[in-house]
Structure 1
Amino acid sequence: MPLPSSGTAPAVQIQQFYDKGLAHASYAVRSGNRVALIDPGRDPQPYYDFADEHEARIVAVIETHPHADFVSSHLEIAQETDALIYCSKLVGARYPHKTFDDGDRITLNAVELHALNTPGHSPDSISVLLLDELAQTRAVFTGDTLFVGDVGRPDLREDATAGLTREQLAAQLYQSTRQKLMPLPPTTRVYPAHGPGSLCGKTTSSDLDSTIGKELKTNYALQPMSEPEFIRILLQDQPFVPKYFGHDVQLNRQGAPSFEDSLRAVPRLSPGTQPEPGTLLIDTRPAARFRAGHLPGAINLMDGPKFETWLGSIIGPREKFYLLADSQIALDAVLRKTAKIGYEANVKATLLAPTQLPATSPTPPSTEQVRLNPQAYTIVDIRNRTEAREPIFDHALLIPLPELRERAREIPTGKPVLVHCASGYRSAAGASIVQAALPGVEVYDLGEAVTELQGAAAVH
């Protein structure tokens, strides 16, 4: 994303790095041989590669706020490159840093980066303005304050440190958008920290960047409305909060250890080694292989596009677990994803899934069997509450997946239990959780067959 400059000044380049699994966007801003990073992810290597490719040096790392949904590599990058870390004084950062608040600026050869305090998503949120060599506003990096088509949710930082309610944070966000962002020139490029699917917002667009002018026309949160109306609209229908979010805020406040060193520190068990009894088993193989045979009590959390989010939603930040896969390559891949949310320290060890285990999951009934006789099952819907407003089965018991481990014993056991979600990915995890919690009960995973039942009236 080059931004041309006038005269003989070096061109300004904005490079976006996008992690689809976490719907996370980070940025490198390069002017000549100097680079500033904004909201880097856990793995610092892509940023080093970018700087090396352009024979440039990373001189600044800016954190728009302590992130809840991923772990940042800001401290590791600073230690490796001698770059300075910049963040708001309100963060209470426990790592070496320079404060970056209203009126503060960073000179990057021909351009400047200016801080804007934009609280609301969190009380310590900032946005970063990019001004060119003519002091014209060219772009704004909005962190989790403004997304394309949405704004950041204000209900994640109701903690003792901040001492603010979600209503108070929503009011701050109303003022931040109206006073700091909406008055910017309409041509200002908007570069947020998240895209579609992020749990830091609720209706984020599929576009990964925008302009202030476009957002003023199309973003529901920027339309004319009173502050009370904004608060009401913003707080309704927010998604669930994964278990790991608070943990990551604290980890980002203190700075995470080296990514690769942390991965190397995780023990690898030799094939055939038995895991210690009583420790969680996270089996990341495809559902069909899991059903063909797995260790007793294992949770089938398949490696997939949202593995990190579901891991941190089902497993608490203080729980130890084993990671299982059917190859070393697959184990390494899921371990790297685990580390993106700071859970690598929770991994007791990685383990190749044993082969030739007896089948421990019953074959699920056909769609037709379920359609014709749904009353033969206790049906558990593990979708989120907003999804479940359109029921697939009448009289299904709604227990969202993030709550299932704590609530599985609420499920009546007089009939076989049938677990479903919206497309099959979550139901594999859900069925395995119920199977472990209710030994002796027949538990079926409806899997992808649920898609054949959607779109019609609820099955009676």
Structure 2
Amino acid sequence: MIINQFYDTGLAHASYAIIRDAKMIVIDPSRDPQPYYDFAQLHEADIVGVIETHPHADFVSSHLEIHQTTGAIIYCSKLVGAAYPHESFDDGDIIYLADIKLKAINTPGHSPDSICILLEDEDGKEQALFTGDTLFVGDVGRPDLRENAGNITAKKEVLARQMYHSLRDKLMMLPHHVTVYPAHGPGSLCGKNMSPDLDSTIGRELRENYALQIAGEDEFVKVITTDQPFVPHYFGFDVDLNKEGAPAFKQSIGKVTKENVDLEKGVVVIDTRSKEAFAAGHLKGAINLQDGGKFETRLGSIIEPHEKFYLIAATDDALDTVIKKPLK
């Protein structure tokens, strides 16, 4: 059995591939499906399934494109109300990948439709837990992103109470040796206290995760609903887009016009060149947003989802790089 983590530092997003007997399942894939195709080819495996732990707010998933390209079945909770072809995957449901099992655990809290996936190896031993945005290393998912987005909306206080029980009645009851594989690491806006580590164990989280140390439900709700990071403009938009399924990545890139144009008055100009180049001369009113670790998040904090904007870069290659990032 192979478990591989793919990590997008710009969005602090972790996705996963599980391979057993030349069959592969992808969990929470990122916008560009090519790394999963390459990994499957490297290991001479067929992608047979894609699991979405919930409709993501902070990035666009390639689950629909992978299905359209490979025929892989998409699995998600029935609560998502997914508009794309899928099979429901909820408490009691099992996906068999050769002789290993992937079991669904409904864990509402970050969202009403969140699930975690428990992996049992060929000997029936519980080995790994893919936690989506429910449990992070050192933190838990914020409960305030689904008050106005998605198939089911809920107040943050309600979701925080659901999170309390998802953790205590389900995840914290698992064996201490089970490896925890979350969907995000430090820098993600889906939590407020994530560790630099990108995996953990149930035992370690029970010992070290501040949110799992809070004994009372009311106190847990109070702590989890306060001091969360800001919410970028695109979060609700991404939830709804992921619920529908996004168009193919390369197709979306191809729709972007890359040429010198007469700038339309009133449209924001994002200049991605270095601060030295920007200081030496720039278009009036341009915003200097340099490409770097959190470019996508910072851009999404400035630009509304349907708002037009221009991108400027120092070279054609640099422009190609930054064109892809708003599409994530």
| Fold shared by both chains (TM-score > 0.5) | yes
The alpha-carbon deviation at position 141 of structure 1 amounts to 0.1
Give the 4+ runs in structure 1 shifted more than 2 A. Answer: 160-163
Partner residue of 2:309?
A: 321
**2:192 aligned residue:** 202
1:28-85 deviation per Cα after TM superposition (whole angstroms, max 9, x unaligned): 0111110000000000000000000010000000000000000000000000000000
The residue type paired with residue 161 of structure 2 is A
The question of whether the paired residues in 1 share the 8 Å contact of 2:112 and 2:153 is answered with no
In the TM superposition, residue 338 of structure 1 has moved relative to its aligned partner by 1.5
Are 2:205 and 1:215 equivalent residues in the alignment? yes
The reply on whether 1:301 has 2:260 as its aligned counterpart is no
**What is the match of residue 250 of structure 1?**
240
SS state of the match for residue 157, structure 1? coil
Q: Deviations over 1:134-187 (max 9, x none)?
A: 211100000000000000000111126434210000000000000110000000
Shift of residue 224, structure 1, vs aligned partner: 4.6
* Cα distance in 1, alignment partners of residues 308 and 95 from structure 2: 42
* Alignment pair present for 1:237 and 2:215: no
- Counterpart among 40, 46, 49 of residue 57 in structure 1: 46
1:182 counterpart SS class: helix
User: Does residue 112 of structure 1 match 2:121?
Assistant: no
- Residue among 288, 304, 312 paired with 2:300: 312
Please identify the structure whose Cα radius of gyration is greater: 1
Aligned counterpart, 1:189: 179
Work out whether 1:98 is the aligned partner of 2:87: yes
Matched, 1:121 2:117: no
The CA distance in 2 between the partners of 1:307 and 1:224, in whole Å, is 34
Counterpart secondary structure, 1:233? helix
How big is the shift at 1:195? 0.3
Note if 1:173 corresponds to 2:133.
no
Q: TM-score, length-normalised on structure 1?
A: 0.70
Asked whether 1:153 is paired with 2:142, we answer yes
Inter-partner Cα distance in structure 1 for 2:258 and 2:81? 36
Supply the distance in 2 between the matched residues of 1:90 and 1:159 (Cα, whole angstroms).
Answer: 16
Cα deviation, 1:314-345, whole Å, max 9, x if unaligned, reads: 111121011111110000000111111xxxxx
Q: What is the CA RMSD across the aligned residues, in angstroms?
A: 0.9
Of all paired residues, the percent bearing the same amino acid is 64
Consecutive unaligned residues of structure 2, counting only runs of 5 or more, are none
SS at match of 2:170: helix
Q: What is the CA distance between 1:274 and its match in structure 2?
A: 2.4
**SS in structure 2 at match of 1:138:** strand
> C-alpha distance in 2, partners of 1:68/1:102?
23
| Separation of aligned partners in 2, 1:86 and 1:336 | 27
Shift of 1:302: 1.0
In structure 2, what is the Cα distance between the partners aligned to 1:255 and 1:224? 37
Task: Specify the code of the residue in structure 2 equivalent to 1:213.
Answer: G
Identify which of 56, 61, 66 aligns with 1:67. Answer: 56
CA distance in 2, matches of 1:229, 1:22: 30
Asked whether the 8 Å contact 2:214–2:220 carries over to 1, the reply is no
SS in 2 for 1:123: coil
Q: 2:133 aligns with which of 144, 149, 152?
A: 144
Confirm whether residue 292 of structure 1 aligns to residue 273 of structure 2: no
Name the residue aligned to 1:396: none
The secondary structure found in structure 1 opposite 2:117 is strand
What are the Cα deviations for residues 360-410 of structure 1, in whole angstroms up to 9, with x where unaligned? xxxxxxxxxxxxxxxxxxxxxxxxxxxxxxxxxxxxxxxxxxxxxxxxxxx
Is the 8 Å Cα contact of residues 80 and 152 (structure 2) preserved in structure 1? no
Counterpart secondary structure, 1:142: strand
Distance in 2, matches of 1:240 and 1:139, equals 31
C-alpha distance in structure 2 between counterparts of 1:286 and 1:226, whole Å: 49
Instruction: Tell me the CA shift for residue 110 of structure 1.
Output: 1.6
Equivalent residue letter for 2:223: I
In the other structure, the counterpart of 1:382 is none
Match of 1:70, SS state, is: coil
Q: Distance in 2 between matches of 1:319 and 1:224?
A: 42
Given that residues 67 and 73 in structure 2 are in contact (C-alpha distance below 8 angstroms), is that contact kept between their aligned partners in structure 1? yes
In structure 2, C-alpha distance between the alignment counterparts of 1:124 and 1:163, rounded to whole Å: 10
Instruction: Give the secondary structure class of the aligned counterpart of 1:154.
Output: coil
How many pairs align? 327
- Given that residues 79 and 152 in structure 2 are in contact (C-alpha distance below 8 angstroms), is that contact kept between their aligned partners in structure 1? no
**Structure 1 residue 92 displacement after superposition:** 0.8
